[in-house]
Structures are given as C-alpha cells and as structure tokens.
C-alpha cells in the first residue's frame, strides 16, 4: 500500500497539516406565528421544529397574534426552553396575551416602530356544580399567578405584576418596549450568574 503521508526531506518526520476544514450543515428555521393560539395539536409542526433544531441552527419566529390558549402557550414556551438552537423573535405589530408570553421566551428580539406587546392575566370559563366551579377557579387562579410570575419577572416590575394579577392590562411599544426587553435580558443574565455561583 502506498504511503500517502508527506515527510520532511531532511528528517523522516511526518508533516502535519496546520489547517483543517470541517463542513457543518446549518439550518435556519422560520416559524410564522400569525394566528390565534388554539389547541396544541394545531401547532405540531412548530413543536417539531423546536425539537429537531440543533445548537448549530437558528430559529426565527414572526409573532403576530392576538393570543389564545394558556395550555398551548405553556407547551410552546416549554419547547422553546428545551430547544438547543438560539431563538430570535420578531414582535408584532399585534403580539398579545399568550402570543406575547411566547415571544418573551425567545433568546433575543427584534422590534420596529410598529411592534407592540400586550400583557394581561388569564381568563377562563367553566360550568358545573357550585363547589366544582369554585375549586376549579381557585386552582386556575394559582396556575395563572405562577405563570404570570414566571413569564413576566424582569419584564414587569413586582408592582406591575400585582396589577396584572388584579386585572390590569399593559400595552408596550417603541422605546418603552425596547427598554423592557433589555431589562429582561439583564434579569436573565443575573439569574444565570447566580446559578453559576451556586454550581
């Protein structure tokens, strides 16, 4: 068999190449979230993209939606947190309620002069026996409070979070929206730094 290794003329020492090239396939996925957030099964393809994207890929999301189902929103944000690829969200013009919560779970954001984001608490309706309705409402209230705190801490102040839980709606656009997104990014970095110290 012929030796393919190259050798220095003066010494029998193999010459090792100083530069090597590796080719990687990078995929850029775009999710267009431009409809109400309905049943989870209606978003199967979006969930699959988030599951299969690798750390070498890029995921962008155009979020233009009035919001919708809290359950689907939670599944969506869970899939986003597990996604290995960085996620960039393009916000608005309309980005409200569950859609806003989804957008805020991205790793970064892009906004323009027409971007807006609306925050409010959850709403629900249920029928049945009085005690069942009361128990269900109390349970839902706890879940909504947990969701609001997890989603909007760092983006809203603690006082604003209390106001949201008491029924107030907030609308953000322009410089105010840009500043709050910066605040959210800084809040996340602070949490990451604290976690690193603990580890």
Question: What are the extents of the domains in the chain?
Answer: 28-175
Single out the residue of 113, 112, 82, 118 nearest to residue 99, CA to CA.
118
Q: Is the predicted pLDDT of residue 164 greater than 70, yes or no?
A: yes
Please give the pLDDT value at position 135.
Answer: 74
Please give the pLDDT value at position 7.
Answer: 52
- Name the residue with higher pLDDT: 93 or 124: 93
pLDDT digit string, tens, across residues 15-50? 566 777 776 778 999 999 999 999 999 999 999 999
Q: Binning pLDDT at 50, 70 and 90, where does residue 9 land?
A: low
- Name the residue with higher pLDDT: 184 or 123: 184
Please give the pLDDT value at position 143.
Answer: 85
- Name the residue with higher pLDDT: 7 or 69: 69
Please give the pLDDT value at position 56.
Answer: 93
pLDDT digit string, tens, across residues 102-130? 999 999 999 999 999 999 987 655 555 66
For 28-175, CATH number? 3.90.226.10
Q: Give the mean model confidence (pLDDT) for residues 83-88.
A: 97
Looking at the whole model, is its pTM more than 0.85?
no
Percent of the chain with pLDDT over 90: 70
């Amino acid at each position: 068999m012929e030796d393919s290794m190259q050798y220095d003329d003066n010494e029998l020492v193999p010459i090792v190449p100083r530069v090597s090239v590796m080719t990687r396939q990078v995929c850029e996925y775009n999710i267009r979230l431009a409809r109400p957030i309905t049943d989870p099964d209606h978003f199967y393809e979006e969930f699959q993209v988030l599951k299969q994207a690798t750390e070498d890929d890029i995921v962008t999301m155009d979020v233009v939606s009035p919001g919708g189902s809290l359950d689907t929103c939670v599944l969506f944000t869970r899939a986003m947190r597990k996604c290995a690829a960085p996620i960039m969200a393009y916000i608005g013009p309309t980005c409200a309620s569950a859609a806003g919560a989804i957008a805020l779970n991205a790793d970064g954001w892009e906004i323009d002069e027409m971007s807006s984001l609306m925050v409010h608490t959850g709403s629900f309706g249920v029928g049945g026996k009085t005690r069942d309705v009361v128990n269900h409402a109390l349970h839902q209230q706890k879940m909504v409070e947990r969701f609001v705190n997890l989603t909007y801490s760092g983006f809203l102040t603690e006082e604003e979070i209390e106001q949201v839980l008491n029924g107030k709606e907030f609308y953000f656009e322009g410089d105010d929206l840009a500043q709050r997104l910066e605040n959210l990014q800084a809040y996340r970095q602070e949490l990451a730094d604290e976690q690193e110290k603990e580890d």
